[in-house]
Structure 1
Amino acid sequence: MLLSRRGRCRQWRRGRPFWGGLFTVLAGAWICVLPLAPLKVMLQQGVAGIPSVLMGAVMIVLGLTAWFSPAQRGLAGVLTTLIAMAALVLSNLGGFLIGTLLGILGGGLMFAWQPFREASPPPAPLPSPTAHQDPQGAQP
């Protein structure tokens, strides 16, 4: 039972951009959590913390989108990279550069991922050019 569960998890992971989604979710969480401070600090920060929380939440959603809808991985990867770059300017240097680097890595992995395909059988060999078939059935 453990082996079958492990095999199903491996099969699920191979059918989607797992690592890209994971890095994107981690980047979103990192960017989202850093501005969440005690209420006194948040009141002093004002509206500057809102873009951080929103960008982090959108990055988490994009990472989950890559996991549960692999067909949307290209768009999710590009948007993740753009949001990670915007977070560099709008959100505490993108979570002190860690969130931005994780977001760029996750977006790139999502965009570059290709579905796993079984190896196709090799094509049938072509007849050699020296073999000649006589239309009247004579043997060489």
Structure 2
Amino acid sequence: MLLILSRWRDWRRGRPFWGGLATVVAGVEIGVIPLAPLKVMLHQGTAGIPSVVLALVLVVLGLSAWFAPQYRGLAGILTVLLAAAALVLSNLGGFVIGTLLGVLGGALIFAWQPVPPAAPADPAAPADDGPHHGSPVTT
């Protein structure tokens, strides 16, 4: 069990997990509103189609942040732009909640930086005692 949790933690830390999660939740929130009962959908007409398409694209961008973190810059920028477009295209961006989650998720995706792997310690290398000023004094 501990091995599974360790692998999960390593996987999660190796990608913009929280930004992707916020983006997926924003897409689901924006997409659920137009998928109301049929009586409500008949009143919307074709206005519900851009909402569903926008929601699907946001979910795909969130998943791409998880499974292809090398494209995080593009995914983050597109997420913020689409979340802002949702204000106009989709019931005020899922009643503003979806837009706020999308902007937050896109910003987290864009700002995420991978942690470089730690260099293994070389036992043959001399120990570094801090900054050295000038040449060593020999007596």
TM-score higher than 0.5: yes
1:129 aligns with 2:134: yes
Any idea what the Cα deviations from partners look like across 1:34-89, whole Å, max 9, x if unmatched? 11111222122111101110100000000000000000011000000000000011
Work out the CA distance in 2 between the residues paired with 1:77 and 1:131.
50
Q: Which has the larger radius of gyration?
A: 1
Once the two structures are superposed, the pairs formed by residues 101-140 of structure 1 within 5 Å of their partners are 101-119=100-118, 124=128, 128-131=133-136
Question: Structure 1: any 5+ residue segments left out of the alignment?
Answer: 133-138
Q: Aligned residue for 1:32?
A: 31
Greater Cα offset, 123-132 or 103-112: 123-132
Amino acid at match of 1:56: A
Work out the CA distance in 1 between the residues paired with 2:109 and 2:25.
14
Q: Aligned residue for 2:82?
A: 83
* Percent identity (aligned): 62
Work out the CA distance in 2 between the residues paired with 1:74 and 1:41.
37
Q: Aligned residue for 1:9?
A: 8
State the 4+ residue runs in structure 1 displaced beyond 2 angstroms.
117-121, 123-132
Work out the CA distance in 1 between the residues paired with 2:6 and 2:114.
17
SS in 2 for 1:89: helix
Q: How many residues align?
A: 132
Any idea what the Cα deviations from partners look like across 1:10-40, whole Å, max 9, x if unmatched? 0000000000000000000000011111122
Q: TM-score, length-normalised on structure 2? A: 0.87
Amino acid at match of 1:25: V
* Displacement after TM superposition at 1:126 (Å): 7.0
Work out the CA distance in 2 between the residues paired with 1:12 and 1:95.
30
Work out the CA distance in 2 between the residues paired with 1:129 and 1:102.
54
Any idea what the Cα deviations from partners look like across 1:79-116, whole Å, max 9, x if unmatched? 00000000011110000000000000000000000012
* Displacement after TM superposition at 1:131 (Å): 3.6
Question: Structure 2: any 5+ residue segments left out of the alignment?
Answer: 122-126
Work out the CA distance in 1 between the residues paired with 2:40 and 2:133.
80
* Displacement after TM superposition at 1:119 (Å): 4.6
Any idea what the Cα deviations from partners look like across 1:104-137, whole Å, max 9, x if unmatched? 000000000001224557x9567652547xxxxx
Work out the CA distance in 1 between the residues paired with 2:98 and 2:132.
58
